Protein backbone atom coordinates (compact mmCIF):
# COMPACT_ATOMS: atom_id res chain seq x y z
CA UNK A 1 0.00 0.00 0.00
CA UNK A 2 0.99 3.64 -0.28
CA UNK A 3 0.35 6.70 1.86
CA UNK A 4 0.12 10.28 0.64
CA UNK A 5 1.51 12.98 2.94
CA UNK A 6 1.69 16.77 2.70
CA UNK A 7 5.12 18.05 3.70
CA UNK A 8 4.69 20.62 6.47
CA UNK A 9 8.31 21.44 7.30
CA UNK A 10 11.84 20.31 6.48
CA UNK A 11 15.33 21.17 7.66
CA UNK A 12 17.70 23.30 5.61
CA UNK A 13 20.08 20.33 5.45
CA UNK A 14 17.92 18.70 2.75
CA UNK A 15 18.66 21.52 0.29
CA UNK A 16 22.41 21.31 0.96
CA UNK A 17 22.76 17.65 -0.08
CA UNK A 18 25.26 17.17 -2.94
CA UNK A 19 26.05 13.44 -2.96
CA UNK A 20 24.84 11.94 -6.29
CA UNK A 21 22.66 9.21 -4.75
CA UNK A 22 21.02 11.70 -2.35
CA UNK A 23 20.33 14.69 -4.60
CA UNK A 24 16.61 13.88 -4.47
CA UNK A 25 16.56 15.55 -1.02
CA UNK A 26 17.14 18.94 -2.65
CA UNK A 27 13.74 18.72 -4.37
CA UNK A 28 11.67 18.38 -1.20
CA UNK A 29 9.47 21.41 -0.55
CA UNK A 30 7.02 22.49 2.12
CA UNK A 31 3.43 22.07 0.97
CA UNK A 32 4.22 19.36 -1.61
CA UNK A 33 2.34 16.08 -1.59
CA UNK A 34 4.57 13.02 -1.48
CA UNK A 35 3.64 9.39 -1.98
CA UNK A 36 5.34 6.75 0.20
CA UNK A 37 5.18 3.01 -0.55
CA UNK A 38 5.13 0.38 2.18
CA UNK A 39 6.97 -2.67 0.83
CA UNK A 40 8.75 -5.67 2.34
CA UNK A 41 11.18 -5.82 4.13
CA UNK A 42 10.07 -2.58 5.86
CA UNK A 43 6.65 -4.12 6.47
CA UNK A 44 6.18 -5.83 9.84
CA UNK A 45 5.29 -9.51 9.44
CA UNK A 46 2.98 -9.32 12.46
CA UNK A 47 0.99 -6.21 11.52
CA UNK A 48 1.56 -6.07 7.73
CA UNK A 49 2.19 -2.33 8.15
CA UNK A 50 5.21 -0.04 7.90
CA UNK A 51 6.36 1.84 10.97
CA UNK A 52 5.56 5.54 10.72
CA UNK A 53 2.81 5.18 8.12
CA UNK A 54 0.41 7.26 10.21
CA UNK A 55 -2.13 4.43 10.47
CA UNK A 56 -3.65 5.83 13.66
CA UNK A 57 -3.18 9.48 12.60
CA UNK A 58 -6.36 11.39 11.86
CA UNK A 59 -7.09 15.02 11.18
CA UNK A 60 -4.24 17.43 11.60
CA UNK A 61 -1.79 15.19 13.50
CA UNK A 62 1.81 16.15 12.70
CA UNK A 63 4.13 13.20 11.99
CA UNK A 64 7.92 13.28 11.84
CA UNK A 65 10.13 11.85 9.07
CA UNK A 66 13.88 11.47 8.52
CA UNK A 67 15.72 10.80 5.25
CA UNK A 68 17.86 7.68 4.97
CA UNK A 69 21.49 8.55 4.39
CA UNK A 70 21.26 12.03 5.89
CA UNK A 71 19.79 12.12 9.39
CA UNK A 72 19.99 15.93 9.32
CA UNK A 73 17.42 16.00 6.47
CA UNK A 74 14.21 15.67 8.44
CA UNK A 75 10.88 17.32 8.88
CA UNK A 76 7.17 16.90 9.46
CA UNK A 77 4.20 15.92 7.35
CA UNK A 78 0.47 15.26 7.64
CA UNK A 79 -1.23 12.15 6.33
CA UNK A 80 -3.65 12.83 3.50
CA UNK A 81 -4.83 9.32 2.67
CA UNK A 82 -3.83 5.68 2.30
CA UNK A 83 -4.01 4.01 -1.10
CA UNK A 84 -4.44 0.24 -1.23
CA UNK A 85 -3.26 0.20 -4.85
CA UNK A 86 -0.16 2.31 -5.33
CA UNK A 87 -0.20 4.78 -8.17
CA UNK A 88 2.65 7.00 -7.01
CA UNK A 89 4.14 9.30 -9.64
CA UNK A 90 7.87 8.91 -10.29
CA UNK A 91 8.51 12.37 -8.87
CA UNK A 92 7.99 12.79 -5.10
CA UNK A 93 7.73 9.04 -4.45
CA UNK A 94 9.50 7.36 -1.55
CA UNK A 95 9.72 3.99 0.23
CA UNK A 96 9.47 3.30 3.97
CA UNK A 97 12.58 1.63 5.39
pLDDT tens column, 16-67: 888 888 888 888 899 998 888 888 888 888 988 888 888 877 667 899 999 8
Could you write out the three-class secondary structure of 71-91?
CCCEEEEEEEEEECCCCCCCC
Write down the pLDDT at residue 77: 93
Q: 10 pLDDT band (50/70/90 cuts)?
A: very high
Would you say 38 and 50 are in contact if contact means Cβ atoms under 8 Å apart? yes
The pTM (predicted TM-score) of the whole model is: 0.81
Amino acid sequence: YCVEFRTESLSQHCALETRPYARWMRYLREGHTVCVACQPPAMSAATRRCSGDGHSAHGDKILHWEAIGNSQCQGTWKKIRQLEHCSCPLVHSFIFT
